[in-house]
Amino acid sequence: MSLLIGAMTIGFILSLLALGVYLSFRIFAFPDITAEGSITLGAAVTATLLVKGYGPLAATAAGFVAGLAAGTVTGLLYTRFHINGLLAGILVMTALYSINLHIMGKSNLPLVNLPTVASEAERAGVRLLGRDAVELLGWQVSARDLSVLAAVAAAIAVLGVLLYVFLGTNLGTAMRATGDNVQMIRALGVNDGAMITLGLALSNGLIALSGGVLAQYQGFTDVQMGIGMVVWGLASVIIGEALVGTRQLGYAITGAILGSLLFRLLVAVALRWGLNPNDLKLITAGFVFLALVLPGMLARLAARRVRHA
Amino acid sequence: MLEVRSISKTFNPGTPNEVRSLQGVDLEIEDGSFVMVIGTNGSGKSTLLNAVAGTFLVDSGTIRLENRDVTRWPEHRRAQFMGRVFQNPFSGTSPALSIAENLALAARRGRRRGLGWALPGRLRAGMRDAVRRLNMGLEDRLDNAIGSLSGGQRQALTLLMATWLKPRLLLLDEHTAALDPKSADQVIQLSEEIIARDRLTALMVTHSMHQAAGLGDRLIMMHRGRVIHDFRGPEKRRLRAGDLLARFEEVRRAEQLDEAAAAMLERVYV
């Protein structure tokens, strides 16, 4: 049970990554690799500030702002300097590797015995429940684990609603249309370059926030923690789309969160069954490949069957 | 209100694919006039429209709109003065967004877009009325994605969007060429109605001699990146499709095209 709670907590934390990837890949159709650097950037900034004695909320917010900046740089490389989108992301990601090392001062930064958003949630939860263990569906569950999960879930729900509301504003609607039809949005007087830059900033801000919270939950930041994250986020988005069955805005946001949750649960179960953790990224990449290719192949097969009938 | 002074544009200069699309075009359009633009294929009529809209920057010459020099302005900045309908019915709308969301985007053309809700109730009510006037039964489908509509419906909505905020200049780029005849008629009728009702200044490129002869109060004919004829007032009113064909015939003779090309011209333009 505690394994399940842990997987769900990480799933919720990484759903911010999924939302960021949803923004860049789905709304702007922009393959943004910056994410691999910005998730570590968020973790590095947050962890370093915590070590320096800043409060957990301030440190987490600073991580988010750092992500905004990283996304802005990618956006400017793409829109102002007309660098290919994929390459713009790779450049920023590569640069961030050095920047992250500079921020952290070393390649791994532990956060033992420091107040973090996770430890604050634990403390508040234990005080609220008044004991150390709770019975849940017949299992004894640590009150600390449960309160972290509840806090993270509540925070994600709020952020998800905020994102939904934002994408329904004049600015957010213009952003969605930019990804859909650039010719039209220019003719309606919108600076498409500014929209893409803002979208990438927001996307990487969310991803950095995810990294900052993840670092506090797992108790350390590692400079390598971003590797493979884009594919994980993409896998979550794809699972989410399969779950909700539509790309309509509200459903898609809910789907990305649920997808991330389900993805982490699947990973936890697979690891429990003895999957070699080293194979995790290979299997995820294979899964995303299949998810991208299968729908088209099935449609072709169905079309052939109709023709033969 | 629109003043185009000797603008030129060459695409792919210095390469085998060099195309001198505009070669010193002069054009002045007064407020409230409805100007038709016709020309042979590759004559630069759509290029002229795109130059005015700012899709690209011209190599030389100036473009003035509303007494402002907009020659170096980017497309999105010029959009505050202009409404546009494209040839491709899929170009003017965002397929993933709903009808209402598309109209909401048009309702802020050229204005600041902040954190206000995109679809307030007032706007929605206005949308229903405006969409009902299209007579396409779309007023009950405001929340449907535009991608599910036909080309004719999308083009009618694009026209509605382009004129939602009264534009100083309406640019119509062969906006019925890709539609079936019935939808084309509907969209043309709608264009006429809106232009007359709002007394819009409009520039319309067309392939159809009948549209060119029957619509508007002025007609310019382009060939090889230049304006070769400019018919106004009574002269324009007397103009029939056959006269236009005769003018094209003159151009043909001047160019000494062979009979096969003439037959092709006839097929394409009649």
Which residue among B94, B111, B119 places its CB closest to the CB of A184?
B94
Q: Rounded mean pLDDT of B238-267?
A: 78
List of chain A residues whose C-beta atoms are within 8 Å of the C-beta of residue B102: 177
**Which chain A residue has the Cα nearest residue B110?**
A189
Confidence label for B180 from pLDDT (cuts 50, 70 and 90): very high
Q: What are the helix and strand counts (H, E) for chain B?
A: 10, 10
Q: Is the pLDDT of residue A309 over 60?
A: no
How do residues A26-79 score in pLDDT, each as one tens digit?
A: 999 999 999 999 999 999 999 999 999 999 999 999 999 999 999 999 999 999
pLDDT of residue B260: 66
Domain residues for the domain of B35 are: 2-95+167-239
- Touching check for B168 and chain A: CB below 8 Å? no
In this structure, what are the phi and psi dihedrals at residue A26, rounded to the nearest 5 degrees? Answer: -90, -50
Q: Is the pLDDT of residue A112 over 60?
A: yes
Record the pTM: 0.90
Whether residue B178 lies inside any domain: the answer is yes
List of chain A residues whose C-beta atoms are within 8 Å of the C-beta of residue B101: 173, 176-177
Cβ atoms of A256 and A264 within 8 Å: the answer is no
Mutate one of B88, B93, B94 to test the A interface: name it (highest A CB count within 10 A).
B94
Mutate one of B73, B97, B113 to test the A interface: name it (highest A CB count within 10 A).
B113
- In angstroms, the CA B187 to CA B182 distance is 9
Q: Is the pLDDT of residue A128 over 70?
A: yes
List of chain B residues whose C-beta atoms are within 8 Å of the C-beta of residue A190: 76, 79, 105, 113
> Dihedral of the CA atoms A108, A114, A119, A123 (nearest 10)?
170
List of chain B residues whose C-beta atoms are within 8 Å of the C-beta of residue A186: 75-76, 79
How do residues B93-150 score in pLDDT, each as one tens digit?
A: 999 999 999 999 999 999 999 999 999 888 999 999 999 999 898 999 999 999 999 9
Whether residue B148 lies inside any domain: the answer is no
Cβ atoms of A284 and A232 within 8 Å: the answer is yes
List of chain B residues whose C-beta atoms are within 8 Å of the C-beta of residue A173: 97, 101, 104-105, 113, 118
| B123 alpha carbon, distance to own chain's centre | 26
**Which two tokens mark A221?**
């930041």
Q: Rounded mean pLDDT of A178-194?
A: 95
List of chain A residues whose C-beta atoms are within 8 Å of the C-beta of residue B154: none
pLDDT of residue A30: 95
Q: Give the gap in angstroms from C-alpha B242 to the nearest C-alpha of chain A.
A: 35
% of chain A residues with pLDDT over 70: 99
How do residues B14-57 score in pLDDT, each as one tens digit?
A: 998 899 999 999 999 999 999 999 998 888 999 999 999 999 99
Confidence label for B182 from pLDDT (cuts 50, 70 and 90): very high
Task: Tell me the residues of chain B between 31 and 90 that have a Cβ less than 8 Å away from chain A.
Answer: 53, 74-77, 79-80, 82, 84, 86, 90
- Touching check for B214 and chain A: CB below 8 Å? no
Cβ atoms of A37 and A295 within 8 Å: the answer is no
**Which two tokens mark B183?**
């939808």
pLDDT of residue A126: 85
Cα separation values, B47 from A186, B38, B41, B44, B244, Å? 17, 12, 11, 5, 21
List of chain B residues whose C-beta atoms are within 8 Å of the C-beta of residue A181: 90-91, 93-95
Whether residue B154 lies inside any domain: the answer is no
pLDDT of residue B82: 95
Confidence label for A113 from pLDDT (cuts 50, 70 and 90): confident
pLDDT of residue B203: 96
Give the count of Cβ contacts less than 8 A between chain A and B. Answer: 91
The rounded mean pLDDT for chain A is 92
Yes or no, beta carbons of B105 and A173 under 8 Å apart: yes
**Which chain A residue has the Cα nearest residue B171?**
A187
pLDDT of residue A143: 85
**Which chain B residue has the Cα nearest residue A162?**
B115
Whether residue B131 lies inside any domain: the answer is no
pLDDT of residue A6: 92
Query: What is the full DSSP assignment across A269-285?
Result: HHHHTT--GGGHHHHHH
- Residue A22 DSSP class: I
How do residues A243-294 score in pLDDT, each as one tens digit?
A: 888 778 999 999 999 999 999 999 999 888 888 888 988 988 988 888 888 8
- Residue A191 DSSP class: -
Yes or no, beta carbons of A189 and B109 under 8 Å apart: yes
Whether residue B142 lies inside any domain: the answer is no
Yes or no, beta carbons of B113 and A174 under 8 Å apart: yes
Please count the structural domains in chain B: 1
How do residues A136-150 score in pLDDT, each as one tens digit?
A: 777 778 888 899 999
The rounded mean pLDDT for chain B is 91
Whether residue B110 lies inside any domain: the answer is no
CATH classification at residue B22: 3.40.50.300
Which residue among A173, A184, A185 places its CB closest to the CB of B104?
A173
Yes or no, beta carbons of A176 and B97 under 8 Å apart: yes
pLDDT of residue B245: 87
pLDDT of residue B259: 62
pLDDT of residue B31: 94
- Of B147, B205, B220, B211, nearest to B175 (Cα)? B205
Whether residue B269 lies inside any domain: the answer is no
Whether residue B6 lies inside any domain: the answer is yes
List of chain B residues whose C-beta atoms are within 8 Å of the C-beta of residue A180: 94-97
Which residue among B93, B95, B113 places its CB closest to the CB of A171?
B113
pLDDT of residue A264: 93
Which domains can be identified in chain A, with CATH numbers? Answer: 2-275 (1.10.3470)
The complex scores an ipTM of 0.88
- Touching check for B167 and chain A: CB below 8 Å? no
Confidence label for B257 from pLDDT (cuts 50, 70 and 90): low
